[in-house]
Structure 1
């Protein structure tokens, strides 16, 4: 979903937002990932911030961003940007460059209190592990947030409550599906030569955030990550050729033509349950509409789609706040309406609260160590696929 091409407002919360964040100054250090445009659109709708400006080393992208966002001052050097003493530094670079700019930021004397990193945070997991150690050593207490906005979906909030209250009884298995629309696997951001791979890394990180959020890390995994035989081109659902054009619905690509994998599947073993995951780069519908979480317990089952948000619960007997029988989650907007802007907003509000209050929210967040856990599982998936053996996490 391209939030720049839809109409949305946060009118009911405008006064609250402005009162809470009026003193925060935000700097954009690196702007090559398309979500920088989405997050800037969300921040503008929220209102009440001061923008230090941005720095981007690619001169063509920097020029294009200046033309499209004149309200965001352009700086010629990263030092000049951070010399404005922002409260929050947001890094939207390509995967290989995120650690480099994060290190630049934490080594600069600017006393910022928040650091936002686009996911998955590095091209190679080991790079992020080292970065996490450096951040903790050099900037203890820094509020770090990774770009897993779907953590803040109303469907995931419902799922957390169901599972944390033990409503399902003894959970024995769960299923997680993710991926991207047909064509989107051709995006530059899914096709970076330095990365471990494609959709398992770039989109599987979102799905694994959901897994670890609900159930913690598995003990070991076994996986298959495959490029499929080439098939004739077919019309795409949508893809993003660059950060400015947004989602394009024209063009044709075929299965087997991606730089990296077409599909991935895996089994995650826990002491008391088994969870399966599958990903495809060729979903027939828009972003997230096919993503699904299915959880099975001795007292009930739970079925969740992050967006368009859906959650349906069935219980044999009522437990916690949930009655026996079927419960359908009440959505913030009419059923069948995307609520991605709300996910972005809630994530940013969570980070701003962490910057102000220096403590994580009760409902969890996507912090530094969350991403370390996600990347350890991603690393195990790729190692298992290469060795064709189980790999401990």
Structure 2
């Protein structure tokens, strides 16, 4: 991604000149989403970039060249001494808790902390981190990097579920994954992690599940490496932080460090939800992610991006008419709107930092604790081949 020449724009962005700009520090820059988030902030405006610190010299030097307006600091201590309002951590999974602990132990009085998902290589490490943050920094606004939560399609789904228009919901299906080739990315292949797509991408899908229905009571799952197959052309993959998406090359099913597929059943007192993941989707990111919910009065079908939402009701309920209702999208149908997801997430976090909004409906610490407990249960179930209580 060419950070300084991104094509999207936010023409409706306005700022209150009476409010001081929010100061942002980037502590750790090894995850590729750091580039997207910088680009979105750059388009939004109204912020002051304190700078960044990255302990890998090659990455730090290259990032400093590409982002001359983002000062480089040689130590994390020096960076946090600038007294940022928000600290953003985009390290690899094993290092996110380490840098988060460094930040909360530093005397800088920041009010917001942004952590790249899933927040840790080991779920238990994040449970402990959440307790430490809440004890040492009570009231701190914390956001995990689940930008898809802010998709207009998910907003549509939340409205449908909150208005209880589907009747008695008996089952739902959630699908997620990554484009063919993307399972080879460094960020899907971290040796210290529990696994691959179920942890690194399944966390997004489980955030949607928990957001709409809460955590399940118990799960059973299958997480598999499939038999090795001949290489085929990739959709796209990211070999390092700066090359960008590569659409050439071939990889084969069964050659990943971790799983190719995952499937699971989540039991609730009144419904059953199934989840499936693949590292070999034939299309671009999120285009195949799907939510299908079935009730006695209707059904809901949602794709996060390119955003699609289709509701069918037998009889009118809530604010929805009988028959078919389609989501009216912000951009022309068939257009990705991921930058808007990032922007809405920032607005949510920054409003909490300014004290003008509550934590309701955001991706906070305890939401991530629930997500990681389900992920942990999925891997334990697959290993033990039995049901696991969450």
- Relative to the length of structure 2, the TM-score reads 0.98
- Structure 1, residues 205-226: CA drift from partner, whole Å, max 9, x if none? 0000000000000000000000
1-structure distance, mates of 2:117, 2:182: 17
- Structure 1, residues 75-126: CA drift from partner, whole Å, max 9, x if none? 0110000000000000000000000000000000000000000000000000
1-structure distance, mates of 2:83, 2:4: 29
Counterparts of 1:1-393 in structure 2, within 5 Å, are: 7-13=7-13, 15-16=14-15, 19=17, 22-357=20-355, 359-360=357-358, 362=360, 364-393=361-390
Change (3 A) 1:50 1:92: same
> What is the CA distance between 1:8 and its match in structure 2?
1.0
Query: Is there any run of 5+ residues in structure 2 with no aligned partner, and where?
Result: none
2-structure distance, mates of 1:216, 1:4: 39
1-structure distance, mates of 2:5, 2:378: 35
3-state DSSP class of the match of 1:260? coil
- Calculate the aligned-residue CA RMSD, in Å: 1.4
Which portions of structure 1, spanning 4 or more consecutive aligned residues, are displaced by more than 6 angstroms?
Answer: 1-5
Contact 1:4–1:38 (CA under 8 A) maintained in structure 2: no
3-state DSSP class of the match of 2:183? helix
> What is the CA distance between 1:360 and its match in structure 2?
2.5
Contact 1:29–1:78 (CA under 8 A) maintained in structure 2: yes
> What is the CA distance between 1:6 and its match in structure 2?
5.1
> What is the CA distance between 1:246 and its match in structure 2?
1.5
> What is the CA distance between 1:23 and its match in structure 2?
2.4
3-state DSSP class of the match of 1:311? strand
Contact 2:348–2:357 (CA under 8 A) maintained in structure 1: no
Contact 1:265–1:279 (CA under 8 A) maintained in structure 2: yes
1-structure distance, mates of 2:6, 2:180: 21
Query: Is there any run of 5+ residues in structure 1 with no aligned partner, and where?
Result: none
3-state DSSP class of the match of 1:225? strand
3-state DSSP class of the match of 1:12? coil
Contact 1:21–1:48 (CA under 8 A) maintained in structure 2: no
2-structure distance, mates of 1:21, 1:182: 45
> What is the CA distance between 1:247 and its match in structure 2?
1.0
> What is the CA distance between 1:245 and its match in structure 2?
1.4
3-state DSSP class of the match of 1:162? helix
- Relative to the length of structure 1, the TM-score reads 0.97
Contact 2:3–2:38 (CA under 8 A) maintained in structure 1: no
3-state DSSP class of the match of 1:357? coil
